[in-house]
Structure 1
Amino acid sequence: MLFKFFTPIPRFSESNNSTIGNESTIEASPILSTTEGPSEEPSSTPSSSDPPSSNKVFKKGEYLELDPGKRTPILDYHPNDQDEVRRAYLVNGPTRPNMTDYPPRKIGKRNRSFNNSWYKDNDWLEYSIEKEAVFCLPCYLCYNGRSNSAFVIEGFRCWNLKNKLNTHVGELNSNHRNCVKACANLMKKNQSIESSFVKHSTKAEADYLVRVKASLEAVKFLVRGGIAFRAHNEGENSIYKGHFLEFIEALGTNNEKIADAFKSGGGNCKMTSPIIQKELANACAVETVKKIVEEIGDGFFSGLVDESGDCSGKEQMAVVVRFIDDRGFIVERFIGIVHVEDTSAKALKDALETLLSGFGLCISKIRGQGYDGASNMKGQFGGLKTLIQKENPQAYYVHCFAHQLQLALVSMARKHEDVDWFFLEVSRIVNFLRSSNKRQSLLRKKQVAHFANLIEDELVETGTGLNQELSIARAGDTWWGSHFRTLSRLIDLFTPIIEVLEDLKSDRYSKGEPKSLLFVMQTFGFVFMLHLMVEVLSLTNDLSQALQKGDQDIVTAMQLVQVSKKRIQQMRDNGWDAFYEKVVDSCGNLEIDVPDMESRYVKGNKSKRLAPLLTNLNYFKNDCFLHVIDFIMKELGDRFTPENVELLNCVACLNPYSSFQDFDIKSLVRLARFYPNDFENVSDKELSSQLETYIECVKMDDNFSKLKGISDLCRTLVRTKKHKTFGFVYTLLKLALSLPVATASVERVFSGMKYVKNELRNRMANSWLNDCLVAFVEKEVFITVDDLDIIKRFQAMSKRRMHLRLD
């Protein structure tokens, strides 16, 4: 008798397609792999019974590339290998494809669509995209020659004959029902033939469970903290055997039951080997992402993607999904990191598709894309966003707002001659001070003395957290807020820096550079540009911080941009006098000469004969103050112009601010037409009628009177349970909130990656890095995962010495 089964295998890249009858090969999805290649420490060689890994290649007849939910019989098994069938079925489980994701012309003949509602009454149905037919999974697994061949061999295609399904099920003792019972028994490990031959005492099984739980506790503790598992020497005579083994010993010291269990476990049954550690970590990661996918459900989501190199020189692509949960809150979750050898748009798209399909997510459910400004991401002809929009036109792209803001500031610095000179001098100052530990130590001493004098003269406030030790960090073009932080520190430490440079003038090794920097810093032009840039960047820094919040919606983001533009315009119109007085007061405190504003402006040491015919006032006010502000206003206007103005204007009509003053039914109906799949069978009249009822209802409800944005509106609809009454409005709100604002969540993942994979752990394999990073970044979800679910997945990964009774 032969056993056959269906299993959902993640979709792989086109270059790795494999079909029955050819010799091509594919690789398994990294997130589902359980054994590793090179790790940060040496490990033993895996046995032949180890589960599939990202390094293993499956050959002809073993696995077949499938889309999510598309099923095809792919492998014959002998009864002696029934555990392999059971294990694959337990790990992957039956999933029901959403037939609306596939065009009706691809499903059946004569354009007859397979009714997705049939799955609700007949959970044994499995759809095969290869044969465009459905099969009976229990009869296919336990085929005995008596089952209806239409549901086992040829496949059922008579979509209009639903009564045939009931006929196949039959009475209580029908062959189908017997096959269902046989499959249920097949899934019970304790009834397998192998379990019958290998019997263990109750105490041995109890000790085994104790060891598994103790090892799991150690793994959970280490992955949550991003801590290394192994040590260079884990022998019996080692002083410190590594965090994992030391944690196990610490548990045994305080719990005799755990200590006795590990003493009784011999050989490979101690559950402490590197392979066991990695399998447990993989089970933790998969169950964590499974929780996230359950949060998404059948809803849509947006994808945030960015790439960065790790400490070992590998290019890594991190993927974050943004969606609306059941409470109406905006949620951004990290689901995985993938090593990409090629950073072309095609390679990134294939890696993204493989990762998403591995968890049952498909590109057709994406409603928004959020990337940085790299050409391989946002390119109009061959970028990642273009490739995805070819498959799913509803996946609208939004350039990361925080990146746009930073790029606007960098562009302004490069175009304006005086600003460019100023930042070059600031870079010289920072590099000179940070290039020597001696100079940094001297700066700290001068800083302490300076603040002591200010406190003694009562020029600064004192209290908890005030007047802390400061340091100057280098600014970077892609480091959000770094320019503002560096310049603010430069103002606070201006006097200590001057004193440090004065002391270093006598240093025979660097006396020339301190003298040059002193000359630059003690000029009115440098102080003027320092205060000007701090004033301008302070107005945009609040915007930058707000854009990096994970729960920020695109309507509020656009409003923040407009507010920042308005504040900068007010500074241009009415801020000169107050700004000039501040600069003059600062120069007076620093004993820097202020030039006569009515005299002729001379730049540096140039001859007056060659100097332009303008006064100092004209130069510093018009060529510097007003010109810089005009530059930044132009850049903000150019970079924050939406790619699709009509879409964002329609989204703005949902804003509840000022008693829904922006509400417009025609615009919201137009917004629904941007998403035809989500409003496929909804007429304009039906949608307009619900919108009219909705606006009258919420205006009369006090719960909606003081809302500040569409995110508050969405949460209030759910809290008042009006989202069930106004389903179309709630869908529009979720679509609007799903549009990404910034890739700050992805940047935080890369910050965590530097903590997990550091210089001492630079040999981590790709899947091992992913497993550790998922649990480390998504601690909030990871702590809600049930230990029983993790142990079940761990037990199903490969053959174990004992079968735990976990049901």
Structure 2
Amino acid sequence: MSLDKYFKRKSLEDEESIKASSHVTQSSSKKNHIEINPDTLLADPGLRRPIYEYHINDRDAIRRAYLQKGPCQPSHCDFPQKQFGNISTLRRFNPAWFGAYPTWLEYSIAKDAVFCLYCYLFKSKGGVDSFVGEGNNEAIKRVTFSEAPRHNKLTSLDIQKDITQAAAEEITNVIIKDLGDSLFSILIDESRDISIKEQMAVVLRYVDNNGHIIERFLGIQHVRDTTASSLKAAIEALFSKHGLSISRLRGQGYDGASNMRGEFNGLKALILNSNPSAYYVHCFAHRLQLTLVAVTKKHNEVGDVFNFISSIINIVGASCKRMEVIREKQYARIIEGLENGEISSGRGLNQETSLRRYGDTRWGSYYVTIIRLLAMFSSVLDVLEIIREDGMNSEQRTEAVVLTDIMESFNFVFMLHCLRRILAVTNEFSQALQRKDQDIENAMSLLETSKERFKMMRENDWESLLEEVSSFCIKHDIDILNMDDEYKLRGRSRRKSQGITNLHHFRYELFNNIIDMQLTELDDRFTKTSTKLLLCVAYLNPSDSFSAFNKEKLFHLALFYPSEFSIVDLMILGDQLDTYIIDLCGDYEFSGIEGIASLAEKMWREFFLLCILSRVDCEIGWEISG
């Protein structure tokens, strides 16, 4: 069988071109063997034949020969000067570049241009000949820059990931370098990405060399699950990667989930076991919001009320037409109230409002939702009546009937007014905590004020609450329950009502119980340790000429960090604090400072300047003594 069917024979022209090559000779021992003589290869890259002009069978041998010969790097020739572009200064090739790029940079004496050896050896036919055929002169450079953007689309996912990873690593290195050996705190949150994988986002909080409080995003760490042990293992892996240590932690900040803040098995507790100085201090406004969320999940009737509210908002706001109807109804009632003198007129009063959906992470949203539902109570009932008659399907009509019966019940009205009063206390506290200029001491004072208000409400507000609920029921034609009658559980027979009265149920099982649960959640989430720690820090406040300064409280602050203050240090600290307050009160540079952050920044700058001056004095002393 002929091999011509499977292997193509070389043509006569190919054989002649090989023989005609000036530096390629045919061996007499083997007819098809090509010998390459490195000494006869043209060294000047500007005079070489392009590699793709050689026969395909000879290219690898020529490449090996040129690699063995090395790049053309003449260092003792005269490199001419020339003008490039619009720059008037003359420039020329610098032979020192051969030392910077010894393996690939080439220079052509014939063309006064630079080339790349690797680009020449592996250049395919077509494309721009920069660094290969014409050299990297100014004309070719313009062609390269004009052609490159057309091909540089960065559409490859691998290239995009590599660029992103490289940028992330460089940024992270800058953050770690800026942190140095300083102490720091961590802020952590957990979430799922688009691929439903659990991720943990980590932020570092520290003081930089200028005394500024810095927060930097360190990275996202994948975790197998969100258990406390898995999160701690992920943190240790991330710290190990960047050369950080848990021993340098001085604070933790997470959300209020049990796997984070658990007293015994939470992430907070696991880190505190490794480092007792890494105190847990969470966002006060977020923590306050979570107290209400916890109550709604633990108290069945509170949870039911918010579920009913959510259903009411969903069905009433299901279409633009229904929202328009409720606005028209509300507008008509405002006009009627103004005419009857029931509503006062004035600038900023009686503005258009709408129902608002609450959210677990939206501060004060529960309170606003209840306020608006109470204000639009009659209008909402009118829309539900329309849905009962003209609903799109039987499911909507049935739902409207059920929700109407619930809204027109004494129990629902009572819960709305009860929760409004309770949420009013926490709402004021929440709004105060969200102020950026809020100081720590005032925040802690507001916490204690809120607790006292709850206690006073529990003892004194029952009568006024009952009167308020009754007046609302009379206005909206809702039956008022007799507090001395036996309480009837919804959906149960009278025998299962345990013989309790309406007064007992509404006052003790609802009103008092909800307040007690709210107080318990406040005590649980605003722990005594974190409260004392922050109050001690507040005594460093420089406002009003350091009027908040308290030596005993600051001494107690040092006790929170036993690894930082030895017994000897504590003995010296009292004398140092006396000197500290006298020195700062007498220094006019500290007289106008407001806030602990400004004080820390100022003291750090003074300390840094002192270190520089001390170093200069030492260097001068060394020069004199030398």
Smaller-chain TM-score bracket: 0.5 to 0.7
For 1:309, the equivalent position in structure 2 comes to 192
State whether residues 330 and 379 of structure 2, in contact with CA within 8 Å, keep that contact through their aligned partners in structure 1: no
Greater RCO between the two (CA within 8 Å, min separation 6)?
1
Q: Cα distance, 1:680 vs. partner? A: 6.6
Match of 2:329 among 445, 450, 453: 450
For 2:445, the equivalent position in structure 1 comes to 559
- Show the 5 A alignment for 1:387-406: 387-398=270-281, 401-402=284-285, 404-406=287-289
Unaligned runs of 5+ in 1: 1-79, 81-186, 206-257, 728-807
Match of 2:522 among 629, 636, 648: 636
Q: How far does the alpha carbon of each residue in 1:730-772 deviate from its partner, in whole angstroms, 9 at most, with x for none?
A: xxxxxxxxxxxxxxxxxxxxxxxxxxxxxxxxxxxxxxxxxxx
Matched, 1:531 2:417: yes
Q: Normalising to structure 1: TM-score of the pair?
A: 0.50
State whether residues 326 and 379 of structure 2, in contact with CA within 8 Å, keep that contact through their aligned partners in structure 1: yes
State whether residues 584 and 594 of structure 1, in contact with CA within 8 Å, keep that contact through their aligned partners in structure 2: yes
Inter-CA distance 648–628: structure 2 relative to 1 (3 Å threshold)? same
Q: Secondary structure at the match of 2:201?
A: strand
State whether residues 330 and 550 of structure 1, in contact with CA within 8 Å, keep that contact through their aligned partners in structure 2: no
Q: For the aligned residues, what is the CA RMSD?
A: 4.8
Q: Cα distance, 1:316 vs. partner? A: 0.9
Inter-CA distance 595–300: structure 2 relative to 1 (3 Å threshold)? same
Between the aligned partners of 1:424 and 1:646, the Cα distance in structure 2 is 38
Q: Cα distance, 1:375 vs. partner? A: 5.1
- Show the 5 A alignment for 1:183-262: 191-194=100-103, 196-197=105-106
Inter-CA distance 189–558: structure 2 relative to 1 (3 Å threshold)? farther
Match of 2:408 among 522, 536, 556: 522
Q: How far does the alpha carbon of each residue in 1:355-413 deviate from its partner, in whole angstroms, 9 at most, with x for none?
A: 34544543332111122354543456654344434543322234564564344334434
Matched, 1:429 2:312: yes
For 2:574, the equivalent position in structure 1 comes to 688
For 1:473, the equivalent position in structure 2 comes to 357
Between the aligned partners of 2:521 and 2:154, the Cα distance in structure 1 is 59
Q: Cα distance, 1:693 vs. partner? A: 1.7
Matched, 1:355 2:234: no
Match of 1:498 among 357, 381, 394: 381
For 1:441, the equivalent position in structure 2 comes to 320
For 2:399, the equivalent position in structure 1 comes to 513
Between the aligned partners of 1:356 and 1:468, the Cα distance in structure 2 is 53
Between the aligned partners of 1:355 and 1:325, the Cα distance in structure 2 is 21
State whether residues 455 and 461 of structure 1, in contact with CA within 8 Å, keep that contact through their aligned partners in structure 2: no
Q: Secondary structure at the match of 1:299?
A: coil
Inter-CA distance 411–449: structure 2 relative to 1 (3 Å threshold)? same
Between the aligned partners of 1:188 and 1:528, the Cα distance in structure 2 is 85
Q: Cα distance, 1:188 vs. partner? A: 8.7
Q: How far does the alpha carbon of each residue in 1:300-330 deviate from its partner, in whole angstroms, 9 at most, with x for none?
A: 1111112111232111101112233566554
Matched, 1:590 2:476: yes
Between the aligned partners of 1:321 and 1:559, the Cα distance in structure 2 is 28
Between the aligned partners of 2:350 and 2:156, the Cα distance in structure 1 is 50
Inter-CA distance 393–201: structure 2 relative to 1 (3 Å threshold)? farther
For 2:207, the equivalent position in structure 1 comes to 324
Q: How far does the alpha carbon of each residue in 1:539-595 deviate from its partner, in whole angstroms, 9 at most, with x for none?
A: 213434555678877655433322321333343455456545544454454343445
Inter-CA distance 654–346: structure 2 relative to 1 (3 Å threshold)? same
- Show the 5 A alignment for 1:767-778: none
For 1:672, the equivalent position in structure 2 comes to 558
Paired residue type of 1:488:
I
Inter-CA distance 264–198: structure 2 relative to 1 (3 Å threshold)? farther
Between the aligned partners of 1:202 and 1:688, the Cα distance in structure 2 is 75
Between the aligned partners of 1:536 and 1:377, the Cα distance in structure 2 is 27
Match of 2:223 among 320, 340, 348: 340
Inter-CA distance 631–680: structure 2 relative to 1 (3 Å threshold)? closer
Q: How far does the alpha carbon of each residue in 1:606-636 deviate from its partner, in whole angstroms, 9 at most, with x for none?
A: 8999978887666545554344323322332
Q: Cα distance, 1:530 vs. partner? A: 0.6
Matched, 1:541 2:427: yes
Inter-CA distance 275–725: structure 2 relative to 1 (3 Å threshold)? closer
Q: Cα distance, 1:445 vs. partner? A: 1.5
For 1:27, the equivalent position in structure 2 comes to none
State whether residues 251 and 279 of structure 2, in contact with CA within 8 Å, keep that contact through their aligned partners in structure 1: yes
Between the aligned partners of 1:189 and 1:550, the Cα distance in structure 2 is 59
Between the aligned partners of 1:647 and 1:188, the Cα distance in structure 2 is 61
Q: Cα distance, 1:648 vs. partner? A: 5.2
Q: Secondary structure at the match of 2:577?
A: helix
Between the aligned partners of 1:483 and 1:502, the Cα distance in structure 2 is 25
Between the aligned partners of 1:198 and 1:571, the Cα distance in structure 2 is 90
Inter-CA distance 716–529: structure 2 relative to 1 (3 Å threshold)? same
Between the aligned partners of 2:374 and 2:113, the Cα distance in structure 1 is 72
Inter-CA distance 563–285: structure 2 relative to 1 (3 Å threshold)? farther
Q: Secondary structure at the match of 1:515?
A: helix
Q: How far does the alpha carbon of each residue in 1:658-685 deviate from its partner, in whole angstroms, 9 at most, with x for none?
A: 8767644344334335435545797234
State whether residues 440 and 535 of structure 2, in contact with CA within 8 Å, keep that contact through their aligned partners in structure 1: no
Between the aligned partners of 1:454 and 1:493, the Cα distance in structure 2 is 9
Paired residue type of 2:308:
E
Q: Secondary structure at the match of 1:409?
A: helix
Inter-CA distance 311–281: structure 2 relative to 1 (3 Å threshold)? closer
Inter-CA distance 587–714: structure 2 relative to 1 (3 Å threshold)? same
Q: Aligned residues, how many?
A: 482
Between the aligned partners of 1:655 and 1:364, the Cα distance in structure 2 is 27
Greater mean alpha carbon deviation, residues 308-317 or residues 367-376: 367-376
- Show the 5 A alignment for 1:93-242: 191-194=100-103, 196-197=105-106
Inter-CA distance 192–415: structure 2 relative to 1 (3 Å threshold)? closer
State whether residues 601 and 615 of structure 1, in contact with CA within 8 Å, keep that contact through their aligned partners in structure 2: yes
Paired residue type of 1:509:
S
Between the aligned partners of 1:643 and 1:307, the Cα distance in structure 2 is 25
For 2:370, the equivalent position in structure 1 comes to 487
For 2:248, the equivalent position in structure 1 comes to 365
> In percent, how many aligned pairs have the same letter?
39
Q: Cα distance, 1:517 vs. partner? A: 1.3
For 2:485, the equivalent position in structure 1 comes to 600
Q: Secondary structure at the match of 1:395?
A: coil
Q: Cα distance, 1:500 vs. partner? A: 1.9
Q: Cα distance, 1:521 vs. partner? A: 0.3
Between the aligned partners of 2:107 and 2:326, the Cα distance in structure 1 is 73
Q: Normalising to structure 2: TM-score of the pair?
A: 0.62
Inter-CA distance 407–262: structure 2 relative to 1 (3 Å threshold)? same
State whether residues 669 and 688 of structure 1, in contact with CA within 8 Å, keep that contact through their aligned partners in structure 2: yes
